[in-house]
Structure 1
Amino acid sequence: MTDLSTLVHDKMPLAAWIIDIERSSVPWCNDAAAELLTDSLSDIKSGQRLISEALQKRLSVYIDALSLGDALPFKWPYLAKDGTQYTVSGSVIALGEGRRGLSVEAHPVSVLFKPTPAVMGNMLPAQAITASRLPTQFKSLSVAAFDPNGVYLEASDRFSELFGDIQHIRDLFAVSGAANSFMRRLELKELLSQEIRLSSKKGVRWHKIEVSYHPLTNDIYLLTHDIQEERDHDVALYRLNNYDSLTQLPNRNLLYQQLESALVNARKRQRHFGILYLDLDGFKVINDNFGHRVGDELIQRVAERIKTCIPSRACLYRLGGDEFVVVLENTDSIDELEDIAKGIMQNASDTYPVAKMEMMITASIGIASYPQHADDIDNLLKNADAAMYRAKSTGHNMYFVYENDMADNIDAHLTLGGGLRKAIEEEQFILHYQPKIRLCDEVVVGAEALIRWIHPELGMISPDQFIPLAEESGLILPLGEWVIRRACRQLQEWREAGFAPIKLSVNLSSRQFMQADLVDMVERVLEETGVDSEYFELELTESMLMADAQQSIDKLHGFRKLGLTLSIDDFGTGYSSLAYLKKFPIQTLKIDRSFIHDLGLDCDNDAIVKATIAMANSLNLKVIAEGVETRSQVDALNGYACEEVQGYLFSRPLCGDDFLSYVNGRSAIV
């Protein structure tokens, strides 16, 4: 047991004093200490603590844990009024009455603490951490001191507010691996300045930390700065620049980054990668007729579904509008890319629940692969885009793999697109008429009006080439109205010329059918031309009607009030259910040519056609088979009680004069 009296002497070469921790007092000090502690002693006399409450509690823990005579396991720096720096050490002593205290000595040193530049900027010259508290300038900073083993010594109020009561420097780290790495660097006495995630009272947040060391005691000084808001801002800015705000998919910027990386890897390792370029079919129709909110919701649903039907190692990007790109690295063959396209198309068969409606939309897909179709990024995307345009011009919900002649088609596509508006203004279009034949006597009982473009330089242009352009540009609306008006005028001209009346049908495009004032427009044309609505028929596709079944039903009833005949075209290729078929006020079903082609050769097709005709008869619907080209097909259809046919066996589409000649050359219409 160390007696207090043995420590008392007047001529101690070092500043020495005794601290009564419990009472926060200095019961004894030598002359050197009295001089050194002038300001602190005056504070004690006025009732102020010699040491902070936090340090007092921590020292009490050490005193209780150590034996008398044991030295404290840490030292602390002290800065004298004249600027001299000291390092202070202490050992446990008995103060009487069962109480313990500390005997301390101050050893002068030339430099106690070398703070980092960030800390230096907040300090007065030669300022350092004192024995009792951090400097006044540190109160607004988040800084703490730890012993060489990482045990907590002292911290600023700001640090304690942010991190609470910690026992070890490890307690600051959110991940144990980060704590282990940090401690290894501390053992090497590295001067650290880094950004890292720390566990604060507000949760795990990003901080910038700086570390310095006491040159004699090796104590650790840690300065922290919360940079979570800056990180959040950087993340938000990154997402704004690289992700689509509507679907949260990566955008064009990240697409090019992945493609550039894929190109480097493919060249280095002699591997292949491929892309699928997707463009939604008829999306502009939905935007124009239902508004952009509905269109945006549909885009979100489409993106979600595409993500579920592509491989996990494939990446989906949105380029904007209704365009998407799928990237698949390390492909084995084109077949692998085609399988993805087939999966996307198959999933399009289900409707999308959007704005309390059941909508249906498909996509045209173009495929291109490195290095088979291009050896650089720009040409690979261009060629996939060209293949997509081929799919779109051929039909909806289709895919094509790039071929060399597709690039030329893109140029033609753009050329035709530029002249389409002028063609509508100058009426460069004509109608051709394909006869509809009643099977029982093979008499012409009607015709389908089909548009043709007579280009002043390119000649006859197929609808397959310009209708997709009209759909995309919105010109399908004035073009569709022109077709309806011209067909009605033709009917009126034939009637006035004394020809027996026949029924003339016109196809409606999906975008045209979505036109809000379509019924009013048709009514207006009928009134202007004086045509009897009994002889005018509109043909619509299943997918068109199912895009919004309830609105379709309302619109179809509007046409029926005008007295028009309604027909479902290409029946069997869409996705309508019998439940809706009963609700649609239609009079005719047209069986798609794909089922007629192998009639008599394919048992499945025979069964489908036979069942369709039987179902239609039970619903009092007339049935027309299109694409009839052989007598064997006619015989089979006759056996199934099909009423009418249409196809090249009887006639191709004809201009007005040739059509009348054809009608006159056959038996009289009855």
Structure 2
Amino acid sequence: MTDLSMLVHAKMPLAAWIIDIEKSNVPWCNDAAEVLLADSLDGIKSGQRLIGEALQKRFSLYIDALELGAILPFKWPYVSKDGSRYSVTGTVISLGNGRRGLLAEAHPSVSTVSLPASAIATTVPSTLMQVPDSPGLLTQFKTLSFATFYPHGELIEASECFVDVFGDIQHIRDLFAVTGAANSFMRRIKRQDCLSQEIRLTSKQGVRWYKVEVSYHHSTNNVYLLTHDIQEERDHEVALYRLHNYDNLTLLPNRNLLYQQLESALVNARKRERQFGLLYIDLDSFKVINDNFGHRIGDELIQRVAERIKTCIPPRACLYRLGGDEFVVVLENTNAIDELEEIAESIMQNASNTYLVANMEMMITASIGIASYPQHANDIDNLLKNADAAMYRAKSTGHNLYFVYESHMADNIDAHLTLGGGLRKAIDEEQFVLHYQPKVRLCDEEVVGAEALIRWVHPELGMISPDQFIPLAEESGLILPLGEWVIRRACRQLKEWRESGVAPLKLSVNLSSRQFMQADLVDMVERVMQETGVDPEYFELELTESMLMTDAQQSIDKLHGFRKLGLTLSIDDFGTGYSSLAYLKKFPIQTLKIDRSFINDLGLDSDNDAIVKATIAMAKSLNLKVIAEGVETRTQFDLLSGYGCQEVQGYLFSKPLCGEEFLRYVNSQNVVAFA
């Protein structure tokens, strides 16, 4: 039974009436009910309360728990004045404005149990004692949105509430934004007689969602319509759906929708023998920005990154945010892994442009892992896992790189997690040592300095290279105590060399991105130098271009702080970052270090030769010293000498050496090794 039952039963001898439980009254009844409840209605007019309190509480319990249109799970008896017995059923209906009531129907019964009539009926206004088809009946309902229509859709009558909601309509098609929808709706009504559905109608407030209950009666040849506004319910459902399936910060679909698409892609790929793939993206050193600038700046940067990635991927690719600084791009129906690699290259190329965040120009790159079905996995979980492993390989190798998954990478990620568990213990137990790679002056091939490089001497795994544990230290925040240990140990080593009579050598230490963003970094370095008593003239800090460009203005301020201490500053891996000449002039640096990638093919690649010569010429014009790293052949050495490079380091002269080996090398290489 639906909310239209009152209208349906108006033409039937079955007695029907509405009970407003909350107000304890009867807002409507049909003629049959008026006759049946005659005695009760007389009592109502005298002001008596005719619904017992116990029954009222029982009614309230059920109408709150049941859905609209549900029938109460019990019946109650009723005996009329002439002794006829009835079994009364109740159906939950809407009274409008979120209120509910009951539609009561009296069915002839042989039951011997009876209740007094006063237990059922309640007050009913005499003005409502009319036949439902009589003109003016519906207009007296204040809270229910009713209307009746002729078979072809012309309006017969509407309640006041209906008119307030939909206006002075003349035809049922006026309720629909599209006339065709109205015609289809009418055809369905005539076929089904009764219809209940949720549909969008045009109201005075605009197009909104309504639950409509409609009945077509052949006896009257009329259509009875009741509407209930459910727009707020729909909005709530949409809000819950978005909350569950979309990232609140970037508005990108989240992990839930990612798995749904991957499940669908897997089914389609298996059915049609197609391929699909994904890119697992993790931002480089994002935790540094979050920790040093705050989460508000970090959130804004994440939004800018998401917007840019969307411009880098093809229209048929989908971008998801997994949370934090992790994203996934899914591309279905791929023909080759090259398509996924092209997307990765596009994302990396766009990282060369800075992000304007809170009036700061910030730069951040990403490490990307690629995996494809069916080459790299036959199920979703392993596909994601393998793309993640490829991403970790890219992150451990360097920044702004991508790797396609290979089987050995799964072992690497297991090792990555194993090392992560022991890193804090290693710092506490000082399981680290420094090795030193000599820096050689080209004009006389004498050792004039060294670069300090950290190594982890694991008690079980042996010597571990920094490529494996530095990313772990960056992610966990342990890079800060580890970086301080490196600076303190390097300063002590420099002091020991001087005290042992070694000729003055300049010792350089690399700063990580996270370490450089440390708020008290300058103070910490000053404190360590004072504690160790090292001469700042012989201590150098190496920083990368991308590190400096994360926040160029703050970098300039920090570099000037180091210069006040008397330290030398060098830009490491020059040529691989994206610093502009305008900023290069503002940075108070003394040295440019040409990245090994430009040295490898020196003499073999004319482009590399041109870049190296231009870099050296530019450095000279800015009064900067130039060091080339990765020099492995005499040809490279001779070319660099001819181009005017001042210093080199690389395996042509020596690999990184422990402290004792380095001293022996200096002693054998230099003409004057001791003062």
TM-score above 0.5, yes or no = yes
Counterpart of 1:516 in structure 2 is 519
Select the residue among 334, 341, 345 that pairs with 1:342: 345
Select the residue among 606, 609, 615 that pairs with 1:606: 609
How far apart, in 2, do the equivalents of 1:435 and 1:134 lie?
101
1:533 is displaced (CA, Å) by 0.3
1:251 is displaced (CA, Å) by 0.9
Counterpart of 1:308 in structure 2 is 311
Counterpart of 1:237 in structure 2 is 240
* 2:187 pairs with 1:206: no
Counterpart of 2:553 in structure 1 is 550
Cα offsets for 1:587-639 (capped at 9, x unmatched): 00001111111111111111111111011000000000111111111111111
Give the residue type in structure 2 aligned to 1:660. L
1:205 is displaced (CA, Å) by 0.7
Counterpart of 2:258 in structure 1 is 255
User: What is the correspondence of 1:501-540 to structure 2 with a 5 Å cutoff?
Assistant: 501-540=504-543
Give the residue type in structure 2 aligned to 1:536. F
Cα offsets for 1:537-568 (capped at 9, x unmatched): 00000000000000000000000000000000
Select the residue among 241, 266, 269 that pairs with 2:269: 266
1:171 is displaced (CA, Å) by 0.9
* 2:148 pairs with 1:145: yes
Pair member with larger Rg: 1
1:125 is displaced (CA, Å) by 5.4
Counterpart of 2:12 in structure 1 is none
1:189 is displaced (CA, Å) by 4.8
Counterpart of 1:110 in structure 2 is none
Given the superposition, is the C-alpha separation of residues 122 and 157 from structure 1 closer, same or farther in structure 2, using an over 3 Å criterion? Answer: farther
How far apart, in 2, do the equivalents of 1:124 and 1:409 lie?
72
Counterpart of 1:109 in structure 2 is none
Normalization by structure 1: what TM-score? 0.82
User: What is the correspondence of 1:277-426 to structure 2 with a 5 Å cutoff?
Assistant: 277-426=280-429
Contact 1:211 1:221 in 2 (8 A): yes
How far apart, in 2, do the equivalents of 1:179 and 1:117 lie?
28
* 2:221 pairs with 1:218: yes
Contact 1:79 1:130 in 2 (8 A): no
Contact 2:138 2:158 in 1 (8 A): no
Give the residue type in structure 1 aligned to 2:466. P
Contact 1:421 1:475 in 2 (8 A): yes
Contact 1:122 1:138 in 2 (8 A): no
1:176 is displaced (CA, Å) by 3.7
Cα offsets for 1:624-669 (capped at 9, x unmatched): 0111111111111111111111111011100001101001101335
How far apart, in 2, do the equivalents of 1:615 and 1:241 lie?
55
Select the residue among 158, 165, 171 that pairs with 1:168: 171
Identify which range, 134-143 or 232-241, moves more after superposition.
134-143
Give the residue type in structure 1 aligned to 2:242. R
Aligned Cα root-mean-square deviation (Å): 2.0
Cα offsets for 1:216-245 (capped at 9, x unmatched): 232111100000111111111111111111
Give the residue type in structure 1 aligned to 2:539. F
Give the residue type in structure 2 aligned to 1:617. K
How far apart, in 1, do the equivalents of 2:513 and 2:657 lie?
25
Given the superposition, is the C-alpha separation of residues 311 and 652 from structure 1 closer, same or farther in structure 2, using an over 3 Å criterion? Answer: same
Contact 1:280 1:322 in 2 (8 A): yes
Unmatched segments (≥5 aa) in structure 1? 1-77, 85-114
Give the residue type in structure 2 aligned to 1:611. A
* 2:497 pairs with 1:497: no
How far apart, in 2, do the equivalents of 1:256 and 1:525 lie?
51
Cα offsets for 1:407-452 (capped at 9, x unmatched): 1111101110000000000000000000001101111110000000
Give the residue type in structure 1 aligned to 2:377. A
Cα offsets for 1:372-412 (capped at 9, x unmatched): 11111111111111111111111111111111111111110
Counterpart of 1:629 in structure 2 is 632
How far apart, in 2, do the equivalents of 1:237 and 1:669 lie?
76
Contact 1:281 1:364 in 2 (8 A): yes
Contact 1:148 1:220 in 2 (8 A): yes
Identify which range, 302-311 or 133-142, moves more after superposition.
133-142
Select the residue among 656, 659, 662 that pairs with 1:656: 659
User: What is the correspondence of 1:440-589 to structure 2 with a 5 Å cutoff?
Assistant: 440-589=443-592
How far apart, in 1, do the equivalents of 2:144 and 2:564 lie?
80
1:139 is displaced (CA, Å) by 2.9
Give the residue type in structure 2 aligned to 1:226. D
How far apart, in 2, do the equivalents of 1:134 and 1:189 lie?
26
Contact 1:116 1:212 in 2 (8 A): no
Counterpart of 1:617 in structure 2 is 620
1:347 is displaced (CA, Å) by 1.0
SS class of match (1:330) = strand
SS class of match (2:194) = coil
Contact 2:201 2:207 in 1 (8 A): yes
Select the residue among 262, 274, 279 that pairs with 1:276: 279
Contact 2:140 2:159 in 1 (8 A): no
Cα offsets for 1:190-225 (capped at 9, x unmatched): 411000111111111110001012332321111000
Count of aligned pairs: 564
Contact 2:278 2:370 in 1 (8 A): yes
How far apart, in 2, do the equivalents of 1:193 and 1:136 lie?
23
Percent identity over the alignment is 81
SS class of match (1:589) = strand
Identify which range, 135-144 or 259-268, moves more after superposition.
135-144
1:122 is displaced (CA, Å) by 5.8
Given the superposition, is the C-alpha separation of residues 215 and 117 from structure 1 closer, same or farther in structure 2, using an over 3 Å criterion? Answer: farther
Given the superposition, is the C-alpha separation of residues 81 and 491 from structure 1 closer, same or farther in structure 2, using an over 3 Å criterion? Answer: closer
Contact 1:453 1:460 in 2 (8 A): yes
Contact 2:276 2:332 in 1 (8 A): yes
SS class of match (2:287) = helix
User: What is the correspondence of 1:111-150 to structure 2 with a 5 Å cutoff?
Assistant: 118=93, 129-135=132-138, 138-150=141-153
Contact 1:142 1:157 in 2 (8 A): yes
SS class of match (1:350) = coil
How far apart, in 2, do the equivalents of 1:419 and 1:339 lie?
37
Select the residue among 421, 427, 431 that pairs with 1:428: 431
Unmatched segments (≥5 aa) in structure 2? 1-29, 37-89, 96-100, 107-129
Normalization by structure 2: what TM-score? 0.81
Given the superposition, is the C-alpha separation of residues 189 and 456 from structure 1 closer, same or farther in structure 2, using an over 3 Å criterion? Answer: closer
1:155 is displaced (CA, Å) by 0.5
1:499 is displaced (CA, Å) by 1.1
1:270 is displaced (CA, Å) by 1.3
Counterpart of 1:38 in structure 2 is none
Contact 1:116 1:210 in 2 (8 A): no
How far apart, in 1, do the equivalents of 2:183 and 2:266 lie?
38
Contact 1:119 1:223 in 2 (8 A): no
1:313 is displaced (CA, Å) by 1.2
How far apart, in 2, do the equivalents of 1:458 and 1:347 lie?
39
SS class of match (2:261) = helix
How far apart, in 2, do the equivalents of 1:82 and 1:455 lie?
94
